[in-house]
Amino acid sequence: MNILVCISQVPDTTTKVQVASDGISIDKTGVKFILNPYDEFALEEGLQLREKFGGTVTALTVGGDTCKEILRTALAMGADKAILIKDEHKNDSYSVAFQISEIAKTMNPDLLVLGRQSIDYDSFAMAPMLAELLGLPSISMVSSLTIDGNLIKAERDIEGGKEVLESSLPCVISAQKGLNNPRYPKLPDIMKAKSKPIEEIPSLSTHARISTMAMQLPISKRIGKISGDSESEISDIVLALHEEAKVI
């Protein structure tokens, strides 16, 4: 089974966000970048399927040179091959999906695995977009997956429960927490990954279909009434929920 795992580099969760001087993106000064947390589940699933069925796992990302770091993490976890599509701009989800789809067409993978969302723009768009561009079925937010021959059976979280779905290979899935427990790369593998080749592919020009006009920090509109735990103070809070917030 040939598996393509698409990953992305994102600011660490604890990053304090500041708007850059261009007014439409975040100031990257001092920001620590990490492998998107959901992509760890995607990589782990790819590796476990390879261990079961044989084949190869290729990790691919779209971005600048700094993204080589997450490709090295993927190689250290056990990916066979790493590809960087060099595009510093990553205009919108469509332009990223389009570039990945063009490379994927040359590889004919049996399965494409992604994280359910990247934690920067939180769009949840990549798996269905990529699948549509490739003419493939897709299942988003997969929390359980079994593959038998060409048949895929998956569970995914929906509001108030789970859906059980069937599809067939080739297919695109996006991984949710609970799918597996991602492995930690071992130190010797981390060292070895440093000298493994990363294939670089120049950016394919695309037109962004959406544009960010402005980025702002949200203004907190919280009431901020913090009190003690005496019975009368608790009564006041209950009254405020009823009369001021009108939520009960």
Partner 1 sequence: MKHIIVFLEPKDEHSLKRTSYEAITAARQTGAQITGFAVSGTETALKSAAEYGLQNVVVAQHPLLHQYSSTAVSEALSQFASSVQADTIVISANATGKEIAPRISIKLQAGFIPDCNELSNDSAMRPVYAGKAKVHVKSNTPITVYSLRPNVFTAKSHPSAGITIGSFTPNLDESHAKVKVISVLKNEGHLDVSEADIIVSGGRGLKGPEHFTLIENLAGTLGAAVGASRAVVDAGWRPHGEQVGQTGKTVSPSLYIACGISGAVQHLAGMSSSKFILAINKDKDAPIFKVADYGIVGDVFEVLPVLNQKLKALLGK
| DSSP structure class, residue 19 | B
Nearest to 7 by CA among 41, 47, 50, 48: 41
Interaction pattern, residues 154-173, with partner 1; x per rule: CB under 8 A: -xxxxxxxxxxxxxx--x--
Query: What is the nearest approach in angstroms of partner 1 to the Cβ of residue 63?
Result: 17
Candidates 34, 37, 56, 203: give the one binding partner 1 (CB under 8 A).
37
Binding to partner 1 (CB under 8 A) within 111-150 occurs at 119-129, 131-133, 136-141, 143
Q: Given the complex with partner 1, which of 191 and 234 has the nearer CB atom?
A: 234
Cβ 2 vs Cβ 60: under 8 Å: no
Q: Given the complex with partner 1, which of 106 and 230 has the nearer CB atom?
A: 230
Binding to partner 1 (CB under 8 A) within 174-233 occurs at 177-178, 207-218, 220, 222-229, 231, 233
Candidates 66, 108, 150, 235: give the one binding partner 1 (CB under 8 A).
235
Our finding on whether 20 is near partner 1 (CB under 8 A) is no
Max CA distance (Å), the chain: 69
Q: Given the complex with partner 1, which of 187 and 213 has the nearer CB atom?
A: 213
Q: How far apart are CA 159 and CA 27, in angstroms?
A: 35
Question: Residue written as tokens 């976890």?
Answer: 77
Binding to partner 1 (CB under 8 A) within 68-107 occurs at 92-94, 97
Size of the site for partner 1 (CB under 8 A): 86
Query: What is the nearest approach in angstroms of partner 1 to the Cβ of residue 57?
Result: 23
Our finding on whether 28 is near partner 1 (CB under 8 A) is no
Q: How far apart are CA 1 and CA 6, in angstroms?
A: 16
Cβ 15 vs Cβ 31: under 8 Å: yes
Our finding on whether 6 is near partner 1 (CB under 8 A) is no
Buried b (16+ CB within 10 A) or exposed e, 122-134: eeebbbbbbbebb
